[in-house]
Structure 1
Amino acid sequence: MIQSSELILNPDGSVYHLNLQPEHIANDIIFVGDQNRVEKITQFFEKIEFSTQKREFKTQTGIYKGKRITVMSTGIGPDNIDIVMNELDALVNINLETRKPKETLTSLNIIRIGTSGSLQEDIPVDSLVMSKYGLGLDNMLRSYVMDEISNPEIEEAFVKQTSWDLKKGKPYVISCSEKLEKLIESHEIFKGITATAPGFYGPQGRVLRLEIQDPELNSKMDNFNFENLRITNLEMETAAIYGLSALLGHNALSLNAIIANRASGTFSEDPYKAVDALIAYTLNKIAT
């Protein structure tokens, strides 16, 4: 039995941070970072059957073209993903009354819709990027037993090509769900490696008043290549989602609307339009 100190429940029986009970979520789940983006997606639903919010975690479940879908905000960063993924899994794979894991695994389909900056000049603003792999620079996943799901050849190539300082921890690389990749892919979408940083400023090479450990890291990442795979973009959630999904037995895919190109120094003239296009594209793929 899982102790109450390890799986914390609210007085109504809901999981602690997400404030959800098992019947509140669908099998198909869309992640967004910003709580205000939840309703930008659910506004297209025919019906919203459930809505709740606790802290930055906002959840709405409803029907789109006959398909039951949950939309949830995760907040920013791998630490929040650790909370969201473990509590979602508990909802479907642990009996919350007996506190025992269920004998039969339920696999969720999780698609992240985000915004990001491109590292490659030929991936312009307003384009869509699918993360074939997540490259974790954050260390969170290494708290778990994860060697069986990682891609050591890509990891070693990254460490070597970028002269990565292992005092910052060893990067990890996790692939997306092939099932969801086949569902969502099209000629409209770029594919590559999405790097997941543990912060927005120094960890992503931004300099304000603090000197950073490797001022050349972004250019090294721009030039990284492993069997024609490039690092397309940099954000703060994808690798953590991929890693925990793979460990827990769920399907995960991350999609980003590119609103900035850091190689060319450009920013989208209408970032909301790019996000709306990605939302419409994703909803229609899930519904069909």
Structure 2
Amino acid sequence: MTHWIKILVETNECAAGRLAEALEGLGAIAVSITGEGEPLPAKRQPFAKHLSRTSVSGLFEPALSIDTVSSFIKAIGDNNTNIRVETIVDRNWELATREQFVPFPISDNLWICPSWHVPPKPDVTTLIIDPGTAFGTGYHPTTALCLHHLSGLSLHKKRVLDWGCGSGILAIGAYKLGADSALGVDIDPQALAVSQDNAERNGIHQSIRWVTPEAVATTTQFDIVVANILANPLIALAPMLKHYTAIDGTLMLSGVTRPQTERVMAHYRDTFSFDILYRQEWALLVGRKRPVLPT
């Protein structure tokens, strides 16, 4: 008899994004965020600002080590984090996954929608993204921050570079929002394959290139460079990302927590002026590349 394991974690809202990312990293087939025992209305995911208690659930295959997952969750949660385990018997895993993913807005002019749903607002730019093995479905605060900022930019005739593209969601979003071109870069071949699949779902698979870092021409520059990874890689990549950003271009750095912002910006401030946007404990650093002044 087929069964699946569902882990439900009740925590504070600020920790929800971190726990959702952890469940994905531990192998969850699907992850969802709910508030006060009920699924959040689409308009409030992933920006549930006012919920004091939030639940995060993950669906796992039956071979899951519950003790391992529980220990990991307790280590990153708060003192009031509660964990509940449920067994889902005789349910199709794909159906169980689909029930947890619903369309939701990133902004007034951008929605995320799984392929099994009809886009709720056909007159609004919609990204068709399914949960998969690569990071980036739009639910995590860093992805949402990047998409929300992109949706407010004028992308006409802009060239966009998505470094560490994961699922390809940021490059796909930029292109569908009007960018002239988009290039997705990742060191993981599986991420590049997932990105191509997502581009096909969105009908733009011939419009975006997905490549490994060594395939990016060193002479190329971009109007907008996005890197949603982690603080230490952003620091290590600083010379490269600075080089690929055109003069007066925009650099968007995320995957950074509030305490890490100054440390990351210190490696870019010689070239960029920054604004910082926050969502929960995460930050998006938005830099403008200054012209080189004559000496």
TM-score w.r.t. length of structure 2: 0.32
Question: Greater strand share, 1 or 2?
Answer: 2
Larger relative contact order (Cα-Cα within 8 Å, sequence gap ≥ 6): 1
